[in-house]
Structure 1
Amino acid sequence: MFSVNKSMLRMKFHYFLYLGGIASIVGFSPTIAKQMGYSPILVGYLYTYLSILSFLVKPIIGLIVDKFRVKRITFLAFVLTCGLTAFVLNFIQKLPTETAAILSCNSKTVLDVGSNINGQLPQCDDSLKQLLMNNSMSITCQLYCQPNKSFWDEMCKSWSMDYCAPQYNTNTSNNLVHLNVSLFKSLTDEIENNYGFEVKSMQFKETQVFFPTCLKPVSSRCKIDCSNDFIMELATITVFEGNIFGLHQFWEYFIVMSLFWISQAITWSLQDPICFDLLGDKLEDFGKQRCWGSISWGLFSIFGGALVDYFSDSDIHKNYFPIYYLCLIIILCDFVVAYKIKITETIGSKNTLSDIFKLLTNVNVVIFFVWIISMGICTSMVWNYLFWYMEDLTQKYHSEKQLWIKTLQGSAIGIQCIGGEMPFLFFSGWIIKRIGHTYCMALGLITFAVRFYLYSIITNPIWILPIEFTNGITFGLCHAVLMEYARIIAPASAVTTVVGFSGALFEGVGMCISITVNDIFLILIY
């Protein structure tokens, strides 16, 4: 028969509520940033900064709570701050975008949508094309085109506009040319992200031309506003191409994300030492408490992904507002639970720093820290780029799955946590006791090698789901090893500091190195 340790129930509830609350926000944050108009490279820089921030905050807060009796108030304050800052993210605006197309005139006039986007538009799938074909409404667009001289002269000659040439000579050439056009619904051309729509008629001021043609080929870049949502989706440049540092949207996002990341970094660094204090000598039972966080992370990731898909009108632009409200409600509930947890304040010591530096003279401890950094590098690749990779696979090979991609991504996290982390965390004490910390560390690195190889050979995002069972070893078991070994080597006066420093090496140094390397590859690719 299983016995329930009632003294740990509140800690179990905290893990369940807190990790469930932030699961969808953290999991979807890279794709949220992508939809807000941030490029992959810029997102990489942002997460590098956040990793450094986490690296600095965790040991500092550990020193503070080990030196002063403020563990309880610090823990409660940042649990609440985490929920509030996550909710505020819902109100931050996207980066400004523009709609771009190329108006090309030769033997026929074609509006090329998606030109000059450098492959950053979503792929046009069959379902969207069918919506275009089935739309009984005629397609009309307003174009605001750059009036280069060759385009203007050819328009005047070929379309017999008597008054346009004199107007061109009156120093109005810097003004955008306003054209009203009507398009055929059928695609005349489709090459990667470029989609051509033949122009049925065009109107400039009072002159209207049907089936416009030109004597020689000319083109002009235009901003467009069309009656068809499909064309507008294609024409919208989803990544901001200007200087973001002058935009208030960027600074709002930057500040709120920094506060959110600081809050969760501090909460992560305090909750495990609090759990160890409650366990006393039964450190091997840590995984049995922590596994409840993995269960909730998986459940709420699936639920959050399904909510996003359900409330989204488009399969390209997703509506994330449900997960912000979900996060706030759950974190408020967690605050009530955390308030009732018995938190033991650390007895300060004057030798805290010297005790910590003595650890660095131990070769085994140094190897342990190197292992933490290595695991952080590998884990960062999964946390920050797996969803992005799934969306790329979907767009390139299986565009029919775009409609429920968030549900698929949430399912991946669900399998990671419930199918992988939960059982390995629960039995981590038994596994560590049987094979030891060293073999568990080696097993984590080997499993990561297999995991990344499997990622590299698949083309269908659904096959990522069974791969995610390996997360039980790479994170579930290894997180228990990291926390338990850090607790064992820590001096009595610096438990929170050493545990926080170990977490900082994982999330700070390891992830920072990973993101920097990934950014270098992204720069080479793009």
Structure 2
Amino acid sequence: MESIWTRCLPASVNRQLLPLKAHFFFYLAGQACVFPYLAVIGRQNGINAATIAIIFSLTPLTAVIIKPVCGFVIDRTQNATAVIVFLQVVLVMFHGIVFFSSSIKAHTDSSFTGYLNCNSSQLVISNSSSASCVVSGARESSPLSCNLTVFEDRRSVGVNVTGASDTLVNLNGVSNICGKDSVNGNVANETYAVLRCPCDTTLYNGNFWIYTVSVVVSWASSATLYTVTDAAVCELLGDNVNAFGRQRLWGTISWGIVSPLIGIMIDEASNSSYTDYKPGFYVFAVVMVLDIFLLLRMPRLRTADLSLNLFKDVATLFCNAEIVLFTAWTFIVGALIGVLWSFSTWYLEDLHASKLMIGLSNTVMSLCVEVPLFFVSNTILERIGYFFSYSAAFLTFSIKFIGYSYLINPWYGLIVDIPGGAIFPLAYSAMTVFAKRAATPGTTASMMCILGSTLEGLGTAGVTKPLCARIKMSKISLCVC
């Protein structure tokens, strides 16, 4: 029986798809609250860029296993709703662990030499390659306690590090040593000194593995949820599967709306020395509860047919050269998307972009570009086909990577994000519709999960992430090569 508000809708509106549009809206709204911040939380906890790259390279590989398994379960049980709800509960649990995870640093004394300026209470570090320890320590919520020694007479005093960059450390308490020695004429305005601070020496402790495992599980669950939902939507669309983009765009709308709001909330909850990302998780948890309630109230999602020989039917599909070639292209797309997903927020933070600006970057891509392209994806696929849609995505990849590589003012990145926003709708619509068209009866969910694991598993975990972690982020365009 229809509700009052659905009866007021035009007859052309497919009421059967309204709950799925709402699911896309809620789920992507929740993801906008947490997904862009997974890597930067690891950095704030003391994990360096190379290690983050390794974590996020291996993480998507779990989706290679989980996605086909979930696809098999759905094709055999004909119950996609149960799988989606289970994965959402897992998401809330493990995202919570990530956002409340502690620093991974184990402390020992490390030394940093430089020139002490008594007037400004600053130390200019000469061995700047080691200054990352002080910088990461100064980002904690409380000042970092260190010991300062002047070379001239070996006089030492305890000081607090109140802020730091790669080469400059702000100190509190140097007046004790500067005042005494200035009277004796022993210390000039600038003098050589050594700063000893407690710094991290190992990453492999309990907190590190708690963060890593939680990121792995949450990423794999999130990626699988996308594919499982897409399979259910394509089954409901039937022969009109090219209209998939018009359903998916509601998630894009919510992503674009929520992203800047979460950025503002994080900025308000943070201070100059510590960024508090927890508001993002709080909103995420509330939205996920609403989405689970919606899924439990709507008709059960399922796939239409049951294959009697599922593994044999899927293996037969990959004897088709077109499917094999499309899968290879999907791998390349996933590798390039993986760089953007994992390092865009990190890169913009390095350019001193506010969380509001990072959120607006997602808004520009989502509302200004992705929504229109998802809406006309049916026409695009009918006119140019799946492979040319991928080719257009590769072109927009090049524009975004090259534009970001020359970026100095992060606000100009919003201009680069306009063509960059075309990447996801062009590639994702083509992949989803191709999977539906190519699948034989009873293998739709499995086929989508295989292509999805190629995009967000094998592709996203490609060699581009470790490569990008070892090159200067301002030259991120090298990843296109």
Q: What TM bracket, shorter-length normalisation?
A: 0.7 to 0.9
Q: What corresponds to 1:336 in structure 2? A: 293
Residue 220 of structure 1: SS of its match in structure 2? strand
Residue 270 of structure 2: SS of its match in structure 1? coil
The correspondence for 2:333, drawn from 367, 375, 382, is: 375
Q: 1:2 to 1:211 in 2, by over 3 A?
A: farther
The answer to whether the 8 Å contact 1:72/1:345 transfers is no
Residues 304-326 of structure 1, C-alpha deviation per residue, up to 9 Å, x if partnerless?
A: 11110122122x52111111110
Q: 1:75 to 1:346 in 2, by over 3 A?
A: farther
Structure 1 residue 202, shift from structure 2 partner: 2.6
Tell me, in whole angstroms, the C-alpha distance in 1 between the residues paired with 2:160 and 2:44. Answer: 30
Q: What corresponds to 1:179 in structure 2? A: 157
The answer to whether the 8 Å contact 1:20/1:300 transfers is yes
Residue 222 of structure 1: SS of its match in structure 2? strand
Q: 1:112 to 1:218 in 2, by over 3 A?
A: closer
Structure 1 residue 120, shift from structure 2 partner: 4.0
Q: 1:477 to 1:61 in 2, by over 3 A?
A: same
**Percentage of pairs with the same residue:** 22
Q: What corresponds to 1:426 in structure 2? A: 375
The answer to whether the 8 Å contact 1:201/1:210 transfers is no
Q: Does 1:414 align with 2:425?
A: no
Q: Does 1:517 align with 2:467?
A: yes
1:102-251 counterparts in 2 under 5 A?
Answer: 102=112, 112=123, 116=127, 118=129, 120=132, 143-144=146-147, 155=153, 179-180=157-158, 193-195=167-169, 199-202=174-177, 209-211=181-183, 213=186, 219-223=193-197, 240=200, 242-245=201-204, 247-251=205-209
Most deviating of 439-448 and 322-331? 439-448
Tell me, in whole angstroms, the C-alpha distance in 1 between the residues paired with 2:64 and 2:328. Answer: 15
Q: 1:114 to 1:323 in 2, by over 3 A?
A: farther
Tell me, in whole angstroms, the C-alpha distance in 2 between the residues paired with 1:280 and 1:473. Answer: 26
Q: What corresponds to 1:279 in structure 2? A: 237
Tell me, in whole angstroms, the C-alpha distance in 1 between the residues paired with 2:187 and 2:294. Answer: 73
Residue 223 of structure 1: SS of its match in structure 2? strand
The answer to whether the 8 Å contact 1:106/1:218 transfers is yes
Q: What corresponds to 1:128 in structure 2? A: none
Residues 401-437 of structure 1, C-alpha deviation per residue, up to 9 Å, x if partnerless?
A: x5xx110001101111111111101110122122222
Residue 497 of structure 1: SS of its match in structure 2? helix
Tell me, in whole angstroms, the C-alpha distance in 2 between the residues paired with 1:191 and 1:438. Answer: 46
Q: What corresponds to 2:50 in structure 1? A: 41
Residues 343-368 of structure 1, C-alpha deviation per residue, up to 9 Å, x if partnerless?
A: 12565434211222222222211221
Tell me, in whole angstroms, the C-alpha distance in 2 between the residues paired with 1:381 and 1:64. Answer: 31
The answer to whether the 8 Å contact 2:41/2:99 transfers is no
Gaps of 5+ in 2: 1-9, 136-142, 476-481
Structure 1 residue 329, shift from structure 2 partner: 0.2
Amino acid at match of 1:84: M
The answer to whether the 8 Å contact 1:285/1:429 transfers is yes
User: CA-atom RMSD, angstroms?
Assistant: 3.5
Residue 459 of structure 1: SS of its match in structure 2? coil
Tell me, in whole angstroms, the C-alpha distance in 1 between the residues paired with 2:247 and 2:145. Answer: 60
Residues 272-292 of structure 1, C-alpha deviation per residue, up to 9 Å, x if partnerless?
A: 011112222221221111000
Residue 371 of structure 1: SS of its match in structure 2? helix
Residue 59 of structure 2: SS of its match in structure 1? helix
Q: What corresponds to 2:5 in structure 1? A: none
Amino acid at match of 1:243: T
Tell me, in whole angstroms, the C-alpha distance in 1 between the residues paired with 2:116 and 2:370. Answer: 61
Structure 1 residue 388, shift from structure 2 partner: 1.7
The answer to whether the 8 Å contact 1:101/1:115 transfers is no
Higher Rg of the two aligned structures: 1
Amino acid at match of 2:196: C
Amino acid at match of 2:346: W
Residue 60 of structure 2: SS of its match in structure 1? helix
Q: 1:201 to 1:407 in 2, by over 3 A?
A: same
The answer to whether the 8 Å contact 2:228/2:445 transfers is yes
Q: Does 1:326 align with 2:289?
A: no
Q: What corresponds to 1:91 in structure 2? A: 100
Q: 1:194 to 1:482 in 2, by over 3 A?
A: same
Amino acid at match of 2:202: N
Q: 1:309 to 1:64 in 2, by over 3 A?
A: same
Most deviating of 193-202 and 74-83? 193-202
Tell me, in whole angstroms, the C-alpha distance in 2 between the residues paired with 1:313 and 1:332. Answer: 30
Q: Does 1:360 align with 2:309?
A: no
Q: What corresponds to 2:400 in structure 1? A: 451
The correspondence for 1:82, drawn from 82, 91, 97, is: 91
Residue 179 of structure 1: SS of its match in structure 2? strand
The answer to whether the 8 Å contact 1:54/1:508 transfers is yes
Tell me, in whole angstroms, the C-alpha distance in 2 between the residues paired with 1:141 and 1:479. Answer: 46
The answer to whether the 8 Å contact 1:437/1:485 transfers is yes
Structure 1 residue 266, shift from structure 2 partner: 2.3
The answer to whether the 8 Å contact 2:245/2:374 transfers is yes
Q: What corresponds to 1:309 in structure 2? A: 267
Amino acid at match of 1:179: V
For these two proteins, the number of residue pairs brought into alignment is 449
